[in-house]
Structure 1
Amino acid sequence: MGSRAVGRDHNGVRAVAYVTDVREQRPETPAEADGTTELFSALGKMLRLLRERKGLTQKEFGQMVGYGPDQISAMERGVRVPRPEFLEKADPLLDAGGLLMEVIPDVEKAMSKARTRHPEWYRSYAALEAESVELHFYANHAVQGLLQTEDHAQAVFAKRRPFLDEATIERRVADRLSRQQVFERRPAPIVSYVIEEVVLDRPIGGRRVHADQLRRLLRVGQMQNVEIQVMPTAVEEHPNLGSAFNLLTPKGRGQVAYTEAQGHPRLITDPEEVRKIADRYGIMRAMALSPSESRKLIEKKLEEL
């Protein structure tokens, strides 16, 4: 069993954050946990067929429903979960005759099962991430999961040691992409990133994949509720030479932190420990390039590829 850290939340209630040994409790993705991959794959094929019958490109259809072509592509391949509100919009636009509306209860049920059958450590984090009004991330060696393109995520999981089989890679990529729907929530959460410059220089997946990844950073950084800042490698001082971390503020609750080192996840709820991490993050934001300066640096690195 894993060890535990005991503290109190912002209301003074005793809280326990478990440090789970993943060798004892292997993390699963929602798709792995409940077998929803087949459902979303079939639904994706249905969407593609209906779109093509209407003579629409992925870009054209995406503009009609407020999604990008890469998001439409991911849904049609079954690696991104089509949200109920998307299906409600798509049904009349694709002349589906209520077919897409009919599957909404099945989609909601599958999404619910994925959440409830997740391992406890990840279930706690995923639930907090999905409901948070503020999300802040520090990335020191890799692009954070919510920012990854599909090809980048594919390359990350394909090179993981020990090797994963193809089916597992596909499921984990699908899960990672489905989490990115946090950006589409309304009201939109406040999101910020501090990314080490070295992350922008590491061409995971090769030149083409890396270029697409940099373009995604630029796209997400343009969102009104998102700020991306780059920490230059040349800085002579740094307040956090430890691991990457996430800071989440669930609606109506106190801020929590999440870290993961060598596959060992930790959800931190102790207010004093969270405060120290938040303080370090604030210092890093002050030291990093501004969002506009960061954008210029990313654009420069993209041009140099």
Structure 2
Amino acid sequence: MTDEVPDESAGGSEPEASDSLKAFGEVVKAFRKRAGLTQERFAPMVGYSVPTVASIEQGRRLPPVAFVDRAEEVLDAFGVIRGAAKHVARKPGLAKWFRHWEKLELTATTLYTYENRLVPGLLQTPAYAKTLFDEQIPALGDDEIEANLAARVERKKLLTDRPHTIYSFIVEEHVLRRQTGGSEIMRKQVAHILDICARRNIDIQIMPMSRGHHAGLGGPMRLLETAENKWYAYCEGQETGQLVPDLKVISILQKRYARMRAQALSFEESVGLLREMRGAT
């Protein structure tokens, strides 16, 4: 397995996403059954949960690079699984510039997120996400909104499918006070974040509006660590996204994130403020 991130800037049409994912899943399933393995036996051999293996075989989840490599080796698939993976395309709903990062997220052991514009995608309720898609400019068609929402809901499974991954979120207070979609949607959004706070591997902190200056004023950022202990960063703007493999830049962003964790409210203080917001909305 290599940590090199492939170039996806070239144009070209993609194969039908649902068909390619399902076809790949059928290939894996056929070789798994040929080896006489159940999903329960196969899953630990490739280092993934049974639900994740099931999702991949059903064509509902993009297979991580590590899964492809391990499945190929475990099932002795003559290169067929690796070959099939080359033709896999993601379901509609993810921006092209985000796809590299999304693949890395699937196997991350640590994932840090700072957001000052909106609730991070992994924390969004479907109602909050739909509001964002409904109000997007230029306007999206109904099919596009449905595809975007399905992709967002699918991605959120990371929080439940990977209980050993360490997640840290720092969110600006004003993001949670903005009445995106109305008071009821925001009340449920805040309540949803409070529910997520109960997970022992997830740390959520709020950057209070009273903090006049902090280390993240340069914009939102994401940092992750792979199973091979390699770090990546991702920075996003309007209609653009940049995957950052440069260790010097990553080091700078790590220092900023560390400072922000000290400048934001503690986890306990953040939970208290969220409870206050839930009652006030």
TM (norm. structure 1) is: 0.66
Aligned pair count reads 228
Partners of 2:224 and 2:233 within 8 A in 1: yes
* Residue pairs, 1:37-48, within 5 angstroms: none
Partner of 1:229: 205
Aligned partners of 1:230, 1:210: CA distance in 2, in Å? 16
Match of 1:174 in 2: 150
**Alpha-carbon offset, residue 85 of structure 1:** 3.9
**Change in CA separation of 1:301 and 1:33 when aligned onto 2, cut-off 3 Å:** farther
Letter in 1 for 2:267: P
- Shift in CA distance, 303/275, structure 1 to aligned 2, threshold 3 Å: same
What amino acid does structure 2 have at the position aligned with 1:131?
T
Query: Which letter does structure 1 place at the counterpart of 2:58?
Result: V
Match of 2:256 among 256, 275, 280: 280
Task: Look up the match of 1:143.
Answer: 119
Structure 1: which amino acid aligns with 2:198? Q
Deviation at 1:151, TM superposition (A): 0.6
Q: Deviations over 1:87-106 (max 9, x none)?
A: 99xxxxxxxxxxxx9xx775
Is 1:116 matched with 2:88?
yes
1:17: how far off?
8.8
Match of 1:62 in 2: none
Contact 1:204 1:210 in 2 (8 A): yes
> Do 1:84 and 1:107's aligned partners in 2 also have CA atoms closer than 8 Å?
no
**What is the match of residue 5 of structure 1?**
none
Please tell me whether the aligned partners of residues 205 and 270 of structure 2 are also in contact (alpha carbons under 8 angstroms). yes
Give the structure 2 partner of residue 302 of structure 1.
278
2:182 is aligned to 206
Contact 2:18 2:59 in 1 (8 A): no
Task: Map residues 258-269 of structure 1 onto 2, 5 A cutoff.
Answer: 258-269=234-245
Amino acid aligned to 2:214: H
Do the aligned residues in 1 keep the contact of 2:208 with 2:265 (CA within 8 Å)?
yes
Find the counterpart in structure 1 of residue 58 from structure 2. Answer: 107
Equivalent residue letter for 1:34: A
The residue aligned with 2:220 is: 244
- Does the 8 Å CA contact 2:197/2:203 hold for their aligned counterparts? yes
Q: Secondary structure at the match of 2:233?
A: strand
Deviations 1:99-145 (A, max 9, x none): xx9xx775147644799314874332111111000000001010000
Change (3 A) 1:114 1:142: farther
TM-score by length of structure 2 reads 0.71
**Partner residue in 2 for 1:164:** 140
Question: In 2 relative to 1, CA 200–19 (structure 1 residues): closer, same or farther, beyond 3 Å?
Answer: farther
Shift of 1:184: 1.8
Instruction: Name the SS for the 1:163 alignment partner.
Output: coil
* 1:16 to partner: Cα distance: 7.1
Out of 13, 17, 20, the position equivalent to 1:34 is 17
For residue 185 of structure 1, report the CA deviation from its aligned partner.
2.7
Instruction: Check the 8 A contact 2:49/2:161 in 1, yes or no.
Output: no
The AA in structure 1 aligned to 2:213 is E
SS of residue matched to 2:156 = helix
261-270 or 123-132: bigger deviation: 123-132
SS of residue matched to 2:279: helix
Q: 1:25 to 1:234 in 2, by over 3 A?
A: farther
For 1:40-92, what per-residue CA distance to the aligned partner results, in whole angstroms no more than 9, with x for missing partners?
Answer: xxxxxxxxxxxxxxxxxxxxxxxxxxxxxxxxxxxxxxxxxxx984599xxxx
- Per the alignment, residue 189 of structure 1 pairs with 165
Is the 1:194–1:231 contact (alpha carbons within 8 Å) kept by the matching residues of 2?
Answer: yes
Distance in 2 between the 1:146 and 1:115 partners? 27
- Structure 1 residues 237 and 177, CA gap change in structure 2 (3 angstroms): same
In structure 2, relative to structure 1, the CA distance for the partners of 1:287 and 1:105 (3 Å cut) is closer
- Tell which has more relative contact order, 1 or 2 (C-alpha 8 A, sep 6+): 1
1:237-295 superposed Cα distances (whole Å, 9 cap, x missing partner):
21121221111111113111011101111000000001101110100000100011001
CA distance in 2, matches of 1:151, 1:109: 22
The 8 Å contact of residues 116 and 220 in structure 2, kept in 1 or not, is answered as yes
Q: What amino acid is the match of 2:140?
A: L
